[in-house]
Amino acid sequence: MSYFRITLMRSGIGLPKRTQGVLKALGLRQRMKTVFYPVTPEVAGQIMKVKELVAVQEVDKPLTKEELKAERRPDPGFYLESAVLR
């Protein structure tokens, strides 16, 4: 089963109440929030209503909160090979 990965890229402030209601129904309350929904015509219709505000990808499985956080974490730029005894 495939899923939509929907990320809110732009805010819904100043938009019509109907558009804000679609964002709320999708569970997108703040920018850069990511939600996963199964691919259905209903969800696709909601995405089309707010297509200018969101980024959508089709993925095979939804990620957990921890996996999303690890995905955002940048590379530290260095590695500790071993501790030095002093």
- pLDDT > 90 fraction of the chain, expressed in percent and rounded: 79
- pLDDT by residue (tens digit) across 32-64? 999 999 999 999 999 999 999 999 999 999 999
Check residue 57 and give its pLDDT: 96
Instruction: Say which residues have a Cβ less than 8 Å from residue 30's Cβ, sequence separation at least 6.
Output: 8
Check residue 72 and give its pLDDT: 86
**What tokens were used for 23?**
């964002």
Specify the CATH architecture of the domain 3-61.
2-Layer Sandwich (3.30)
Give the Cα separation of 30 and 8 in Å (integer).
Answer: 7
Check residue 76 and give its pLDDT: 80
Check residue 62 and give its pLDDT: 94
**What tokens were used for 68?**
């999303």
Alpha carbon 25 to its chain's center: 15
Check residue 24 and give its pLDDT: 96
What pTM was estimated for this model as a whole?
A: 0.82
